[in-house]
């Protein structure tokens, strides 16, 4: 059984808020940090909105919602993570930002046995591990969006990760967070994105070339292959900026044209058409 009860989550965007929500609902004491007080408040609002949705849909009682909220602390002070036994980093997919954060976490977290996990989608876990003085305690834990719904977590040991850290990370994902795990290699894209991203980019190229409309591509994959959502709707859910960052990391690693971000994706990100979170992507949304 896992001995971990104090979890830290760094970053409270789409993924971080989902991880924090699931952890609090399952009884963990969770401290969530963001880079500013405004972002910490926005993260808290995101978690509350999701818990409220759970209550509205009859999945949670008001008491369960309140108990989960009472287990959550939101702060912009990284120092408040000092007593955490397990920290999951879920900040934007930016290598320099993550490297800097891992250097800071290494200094802030007191327990030398604490595990530092990254939710990166594509940045080598070993790069983040060696930025710390505890590379054997750093591991990848890659969640899927929406975190409260998707069952999978990829566990990614770096070359430096100890067997004990892998065991503890698997236990956190399964016993504490109630997810299923697969072990994935520390190569950009791991298992799922290595297969998913070329497919998503191919759908963008199909739109870009005028070969098919987003509605037809999505309907085709939803009804033809029983995917819960077609590739363009899924891109809007993931966030086009995230999809671009993942594709770029994978392209940088493999120089494989299938991973190259198409110009349309780059232009949409430049225009701020990031998908659901910005109110517009391949489709319009009520923001």
Query: Which sequence positions are flagged as catalytic?
Result: 121, 142, 154, 193
Rounded to whole angstroms, how far apart are CA atoms 269 and 69? Answer: 34
Footprint on residues 174-193 left by ligand 3HC (CB under 6 A):
193
Interaction mask 51-80, ligand 3HC, x per CB under 6 A: ------x-----------------------
For position 112 contacting ligand 3HC by CB under 6 A, the verdict is no
Closest separation in Å from C-beta 121 to ligand 3HC: 3
**In contact, 211 and 258? CB cutoff 8 Å:** no
Residue placing its CB nearer to ligand 3HC in the complex, 41 or 152 = 152
E-assigned strand segments in 158-217: 180-183
For position 123 contacting ligand 3HC by CB under 6 A, the verdict is no
**In contact, 246 and 197? CB cutoff 8 Å:** yes
Rounded to whole angstroms, how far apart are CA atoms 75 and 205? Answer: 41
Residue placing its CB nearer to ligand 3HC in the complex, 34 or 241 = 241
Residue placing its CB nearer to ligand 3HC in the complex, 50 or 278 = 50
**In contact, 124 and 158? CB cutoff 8 Å:** yes
Dihedral (Cα; 153, 247, 287, 147), 10-degree rounding: 0
Query: Using only C-alpha atoms, what is the Rg of the chain?
Result: 19
Please choose, out of 22-30, 72-80, 125-133, 144-152, the segment that lies near ligand 3HC by the rule CB under 6 A. Answer: 144-152
Rounded to whole angstroms, how far apart are CA atoms 24 and 67? Answer: 8
Closest separation in Å from C-beta 144 to ligand 3HC: 4
For position 148 contacting ligand 3HC by CB under 6 A, the verdict is yes
Q: Which of 2, 33, 85, 121 binds ligand 3HC (CB under 6 A)?
A: 121
Q: Which residue has the tokens 């999701």?
A: 50
Closest separation in Å from C-beta 253 to ligand 3HC: 15
Closest separation in Å from C-beta 99 to ligand 3HC: 19
Please choose, out of 84-92, 100-108, 127-135, 139-147, the segment that lies near ligand 3HC by the rule CB under 6 A. Answer: 139-147
Residue placing its CB nearer to ligand 3HC in the complex, 110 or 229 = 229
Q: Determine the size of the site formed for ligand 3HC (CB under 6 A).
A: 18
The gap between the terminal CA atoms of the chain, to the nearest Å, is 42
Polymer length in residues for the chain? 287
Element (H, E) at 177: none
Contacts for 210-213: CB closer than 8 Å, 24+ residues apart: none
Closest separation in Å from C-beta 118 to ligand 3HC: 12
- Paired tokens of 81: 């993570």
Rounded to whole angstroms, how far apart are CA atoms 244 and 121? Answer: 11
Residue placing its CB nearer to ligand 3HC in the complex, 166 or 243 = 243
**In contact, 95 and 246? CB cutoff 8 Å:** no
Q: Which of 246, 261, 268, 269 binds ligand 3HC (CB under 6 A)?
A: 246
Residue placing its CB nearer to ligand 3HC in the complex, 238 or 261 = 238
Q: How many CB atoms lie within 10 A of CB 64?
A: 15
Can you give the binding site for ligand 3HC, defined by CB under 6 A? Answer: 50, 57, 121, 144-146, 148-150, 193, 196, 228-229, 234, 237-238, 242, 246
């Amino acid at each position: 059984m896992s001995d971990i009860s104090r979890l830290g989550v760094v970053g409270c965007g789409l993924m971080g808020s989902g991880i924090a929500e699931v952890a609090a609902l399952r009884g963990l004491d969770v401290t969530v940090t963001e880079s500013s007080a405004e972002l910490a408040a926005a993260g808290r609002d995101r978690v509350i909105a999701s818990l409220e949705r759970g209550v509205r849909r009859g999945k949670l009682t008001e008491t369960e919602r309140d108990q989960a909220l009472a287990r959550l602390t939101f702060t912009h002070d990284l120092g408040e993570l000092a007593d955490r036994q397990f920290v999951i980093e879920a900040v934007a997919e930016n290598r320099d930002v993550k490297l800097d954060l891992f250097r800071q976490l290494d200094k802030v977290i007191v327990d030398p046995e604490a595990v530092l996990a990254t939710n990166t989608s594509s940045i080598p876990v070993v790069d983040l591990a060696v930025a710390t003085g505890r590379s054997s305690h750093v591991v990848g834990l890659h969640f899927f969006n929406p975190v409260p719904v998707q069952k999978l977590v990829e566990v990614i040991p770096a070359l430096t990760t100890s067997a004990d850290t892998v065991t503890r990370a698997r236990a956190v994902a399964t016993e504490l967070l109630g997810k299923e795990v697969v072990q994935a290699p520390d190569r950009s894209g791991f298992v799922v994105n290595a297969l998913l991203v070329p497919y998503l980019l191919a759908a963008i190229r199909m739109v870009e070339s005028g070969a098919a409309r987003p509605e037809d591509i999505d309907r085709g994959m939803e009804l033809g292959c029983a995917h819960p959502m077609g590739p363009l709707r899924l891109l809007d859910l993931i966030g086009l900026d995230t999809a671009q960052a993942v594709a770029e990391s994978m392209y940088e690693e493999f120089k494989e044209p299938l991973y190259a971000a198409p110009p349309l994706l780059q232009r949409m990100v430049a225009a701020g058409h990031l998908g659901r979170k910005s109110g517009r992507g391949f489709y319009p949304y009520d923001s």
